[in-house]
Chain A
């Protein structure tokens, strides 16, 4: 011990310092005592005298210790700084000497870190960042589910709002919202505006402060108040050119003059984006006596703010109690057959729930890609380490200890990781816009995505961890004897632990790649299934648009029908127009579901709430031909099914099947007004995926537009040529009939379908891209390991060949060695994928998470790519000239 300490007296620990000071002073006292004894004193007296001469031993010892400890700390710090500076210079030099390795490492890391930064910035902006409303985490969104009739949220009626508002103690305030299209006149051409109709204190409760002007004031939602408007930021910017003098301007709407009082900041709007907002009193529909007194006229969305100290669960249980009371008070409004209940959800969760699974899937994927990248660089580093063994041995001989060598690796790793991080950040910044538009398909919060401080911190942490990972991995093989192994240099290391670690790294890479490929493959299969799906209608050459007639002008059914008839007549003879149709909705238009309860003639009346229910479609006769919906039996509507002729209906196959089974539905009569009037079913048509491609066809009742007209409608045109070119002409025709009537949402049906497919397509392409990246990195890693092993075994191969092994045999041997790793990795990967893909089953359409075809296909692809990666080094091995190889030693 003491000999070692003499040689390597390491400054540092306070225990060492104390021991040293103690032994130094003890030595002095002993020597002094001995001197006095030699001079003739008795041992005890000598000891006392020595102590006395020394002074206050304790104080001096303490003082020495302090000084020595401080000195030791300073020295350690200085050594570290010097060492670090040295390591840094050394790392830079050695990286410069291996430009190929450095470039590959930085590129791989840049892609890995960039992908992670990009995905994390989405997660940060959408899931983690607090809502941009004041104290937004205390906001709740109320839902009234009626699960027994398959309705996730039936919304609320005005009487219900009044009751909940009066009775709830847990919610500080409850505000209402619904959205309607209106026509805004003044300042240029007429505009259709999606209008949020809200309580006067709506923005106060949400905690949104207008960017300009003011929000609504108390009382502005009472009848008789001056009509006022608040504009959304996007509408002000995009449609009004960001006019700074807009506050105070007036617009005509619903025959009244409305004054703009404020502009909202760019905040996410839920449940939908609106162009403008008005107080509830300004909406003619909301203030009609039918709406304000009918408990079943549920059109409102309700938001609330939790009272101080109230938890979401408490609010939920209070509301459930209130709902039970209400059901008892008004049984007719809550038919037991529909199973009404109430639910308070955090607004934050509502805003992000759709995005969450996709974002987490992406984060998992990019995390895996980065791991694979790390493994690859660790692998390359190991190979370099073996090649650099002479240098390392030299450094070890010159006194660099294991910690020092380890630190050197860490510094090199961190340098690479930081360079990769810079590249990654640049990549993430470059793809920001793309990401935002991607996220916008899932959440209204997309605009909040940015590379903020937290994202930068995340990237830095990822960089540091990455650097650590490939510093640690290469040091693993011979934890105990890295230095001695390196001192021996060369072959010993490559054959031993290091090779095993490199093989393990490749196995892990293959396993992770397999997981990613299976994930991407499942998404691809799901996307292909969606694309191949026959939606029940023909999307080719159909132009769709929204035609919402002015509330104040088209006040009767005759006026509405008159407008539509005129438009059909004007377009009928035009070149390129094959058919035109008006309807309440059209497939995939995102329109809200409108149900119709009906009774079937000849069947006993059903219990309240358990009546047959169909989704209402109101359409002109040409609707079916325009969309290519096939007739199954009976007939379509005809021009003779007019407003005054007997009521007729067409139902879809699913509904016909449900209520009439094998018997034909045609000729049966149904009633939507509990038997007052009867409607004859005249035809059965094919099913349509109306709400989304992945949702199953619902039960549909079509009624003639002429008998059930709507002011808010869609207008469809089937064209013989490019439908896009027709849009302008149709708009002109509309304006020539009524110059105050705008058209909106002009899109071809193909575009509408494309939109519906866009988010799965984007998610799938991202996942495929990452899986491909992982595969490439893994293949490169595998190839490198096999190549290295071959280069280390040139001599052995030479011997084998000299002893008569053929080229094919050598080729097979090397390939087998590589594929062995692949098979192990594959097995691990399949096992992990079975466990992991289950998490994404919610994102899949018509594909099982354990789909054997995907698993087998991806395994095959992986094996083929891996074999290709091994082929080059195997060929090189088989080309070894035995003589040369043997002589080389």
Chain B
């Protein structure tokens, strides 16, 4: 399961992205990340939870308890307005970063 190491902040941005479509519980977020990244970025699944709690503590996520699709009580995360703003900024940063790195990698020899 050990994929390549995550770049710092990657997991946070992926969590926020996952939640940008609506409230989800932790398991669903993990599943979404696994599926959308084809397991390429997967670290140990447990690492997701401290990240979730950290994001919640910073006020980017809010918790809400609800009933899961299997009928169990589960903790759902919802993005706060501040979280949404943060996601936008992070996505922008990632794009710039990725563009710069790609440009460098694709550059022809001088």
Contacts and interface: CB of A to CB of B under 8 A. Distances in A.
Tell me whether A and B are bound partners.
Answer: yes
Interface of A: 2, 5-6, 9, 20-21, 23-25, 27-28, 30-32, 34, 53-57, 60, 63-64, 67-68, 70-71, 74
A27 B65 contact: no
Interface residues of B, number: 25
B73 A54 contact: no
Nearest to B53: A67
A27 B53 CA distance: 16
28 contacts: A2-B73, A6-B65, A21-B53, A24-B25, A24-B75, A25-B46, A25-B49, A27-B25, A27-B68, A27-B72, A27-B74, A28-B45, A30-B72, A31-B68, A32-B27, A53-B1, A53-B44, A54-B46, A55-B44, A56-B46, A60-B46, A60-B47, A60-B50, A64-B53, A67-B53, A67-B54, A68-B56, A70-B57
A54 B45 contact: yes
Given A24-B49, A53-B44, A60-B50, A31 B57 contact: no
B23 interface: no
Contacts of A63: 49-50, 53
Given A6-B66, A9-B65, A71-B56, A20 B46 contact: no
Contact of B74 (A24, A32, A68, A70): A24
Interface in B23-60: 25-27, 30, 44-47, 49-50, 52-54, 56-57
From DSSP, what is the main secondary structure of chain A's interface residues? helix
**What 5 pairs across the A-B complex have the smallest Cβ distances?**
A55-B44, A71-B57, A55-B46, A67-B53, A60-B46
Interface of B: 1, 25-27, 30, 44-47, 49-50, 52-54, 56-57, 63, 65-66, 68, 70, 72-75
A68 B44 contact: no
Contacts of B72: 27, 30
A56 B49 CA distance: 12
Nearest to A30: B72
A68 B46 contact: no
Contacts of B65: 5-6, 9
A27 B70 CA distance: 11
Given A21-B49, A53-B45, 10 more contacts: A5-B65, A9-B63, A25-B49, A27-B68, A31-B68, A32-B45, A55-B44, A67-B56, A71-B53, A74-B57
Contacts of A24: 25-26, 49, 74-75
B70 to A, nearest CB: 7
A392 to B, nearest CB: 30
A5 B66 CA distance: 10
A24 B75 CA distance: 6
B57 A67 contact: yes
Contacts of B63: 9
Contacts of B70: 31, 34
Contacts of A27: 25-27, 68, 72, 74-75
A56 B70 CA distance: 26
B45 A55 contact: yes
Nearest to B52: A64
A9 B63 CA distance: 10
B24 to A, nearest CB: 12
A20 B75 contact: yes
Contacts of A9: 63, 65
Contacts of B27: 27-28, 31-32
Contacts of B45: 28, 32, 53-55
Nearest to B1: A53
